[in-house]
Structure 1
Amino acid sequence: METLELLVRNTSEVLTVEGSYTEPAERALTPRPNACVGVRRGRVLYVGPEGGLPPGTVGPSTRVIDAHGQFVGPGFVDPHTHAVFAGERANEFDLRNQGASYLQIAQAGGGIANTVRSTRFASEEDLIRLALPRLQTMLEYGITTAEVKSGYGLNLQDELKILKVVQRLSALQPLELVPTLLCAHAIPEEYREWREAYMDLCTREIIPAVAEQGLARFCDVFAEEGAFSLAEARRILVAAKKAGMRPRLHADQLTANGGAELAAEVGAATADHLEHVSDAGIRALAEAGVTAVLVPTSTLFLRVRPYAPGRKLREAGVNVALGTNLNPGSAMSENLPLAMGLACLENGLTAAEAYWATTRGAALALGLNTYGRITVGDPANLVVFSCSNYRHLPYHLGINHARIVIKDGHVVVENERALCP
């Protein structure tokens, strides 16, 4: 074995998360008590007892990280964010707290349209400057990979602008970004009386241009009252699929409208939100192998009920992932540990299921087959936590326990102030 560049030792356990969502989550986390992790050339070279390391694998050039008896797991994967935008909507937050609904605010010209106006006005450099601190905060929480959607441009020029910003951000900082086209986020103000014309713009101009430039891996649609009908969503997703982008869907968030069933029909990678998903929709997701992405921080932030039925989804055999849904309107938070705690308290997940949902479950949602686990040969995306067991993460509600974050074998965060229990 070659000399290691990095060794993480003295752990309580290493969660390698090499199991499957079809088995009990505690087993799927595949814990390795007191194991160490060796890294070379950005990849995991060894996982196992320190006594099993061949002589000479730890040399003078090896950086040794002492976990101090705490646990190590894969870098978190956030499968649902809207992290690139301009402006804020704190006034709308205040209005909701005074009784206004999300739909009422949107119908009055607020909501997504508010952020669209600010984002269109911003340059690429403005958007990069605004996004970098958000991404740094996410990285400090232990998120090493995150999906980022467009959706605040709603025209050809500005949707391309946002996706180009995502591309540039991937090269400017360590957090790996997975781009999603969301031109069907809302009907823009200038097309309110010409919905069909906007549908044509999405399917005939925006989707082909994004595909030609290779700017997005997925295409998402907000299928909801006040946004896009199921028929409109189907048309856009079919066009995107033909262009080489995998479908995703904001489904059954505010109303029960059959979004989950549509996600299954079009072979979507994920159906997200699902607060109002029907039993038939859950069965359809399970049969089609669609991942359910839950975003409980958004349910809390909007002060709506119910929370998505995470327990029923798991029991039906659906892969469940968790995201922050970071965005200025319905989830202004980068805090994935908070989402984990809420998933246990309100979505009915166990601590092990929540941990799976933020690691391997989320990686599978994005088609990242070598992410969200710690396996020899895979990219070395690791977090050294300041607690001895993963169950502490959702229990110590919303607190950051990521002490050391490693991306592709490089230490990118050292937070010795991370709280210890």
Structure 2
Amino acid sequence: MSRGREATTAADATHKLPDDVIAIAIDTNAAASGRISFRQIEDLAATISAQELQIEVWVPEPVLWEWADHAYDLAVRTRDEFRSRQRELEDAGISGFDVAPSFEQSVDDVMETLSDGLQDIYLDDDSPAIRILELSEHPDAAVLGLRDQVLRTGPGRTKPQSGARVKTGAADSASFRLVAHAAGDQLHRVVLASGDQDARTHFRHGPSPIILRDLWSVRNELIKLRKGSDVAAEALKESVESALTYVDQDGGALRAYALSGENLLFNPRRDLTHVPEFSVVRVSAVDSVDNVEISLKERSATATAKIRLDVAIEYVRWDYRSETVDSDLEEEQDVEAIAYISADAPDLSDWDFTIDRIEIVDGRYDPVNRYV
């Protein structure tokens, strides 16, 4: 290690970033459901520029592959579901759904689209913001990743799939090895955005990057390195307090790109026989806005807010007697939650807000961890 520093392990890595961070590596699970978020990556690049930092953003090639696979799968399922519903509506005599999605790309086409999009993100000095860590730079990463999967070492493990146990982990292992190779003896100056426990497992017994659970957390820590004025922070706090309740399904004053709570599953303690689908209807109240962080140029910010939600819970049960699916929908109010907020002010006059993540903290519910 340079500068005489001891090797940092995943066990003792803290959430405070050193001033000399050289790179931010993005894992597949840096965003909800393992899907790419160009908006969050662009926001990260904007924060790096706003903070006047010299930091690279790394995307390992296997991560790009997994993002492409997830995006392709989502596109195909969306297209097929629309076509199926379209036929049902036609049979019912309902018009207005004549134009079906025309998605016909291959997964390779999707991967090329994502790769081009990442390489089209620039910093304020017109330098590319993203560096894709290719396996050709370190072929041993693929070999050792496959070894981890077969021997179930490091990130290698088995998981249930269609009634069988399937070995997995090669892509994760290869990605982490590419990050370590790119960093060399500077791994302690790299931040890895990953909500996957496998990242901590891989780096547990040796040199480790600083591991943060998602891109919101990375932005939050970058902004703390060089803070803007208290006046700007107070102004943002007041704006969030007045704007958050305008989140709804149709947009409104607050853009909401990713309410991850919409895709989380919860077990109400009153009924543990099944797992219902939980969705956010609206933010009904803002109790407080905390942890406001403003960037040096006052163009990027993060904050958390204690909020209350109106939610819809769909209960689905299998009736063994009639061999049919039974479902019902209930709504509940004042569900306590924490919102993780990103904000940007491109023209330095008006803040543009996004909720990156919602965590339910209401004692009535036991969350099933899906944010991995």
Q: TM-score, normalised by structure 2?
A: 0.26
If you compute each CA radius of gyration, which structure gives the higher value, 1 or 2?
2
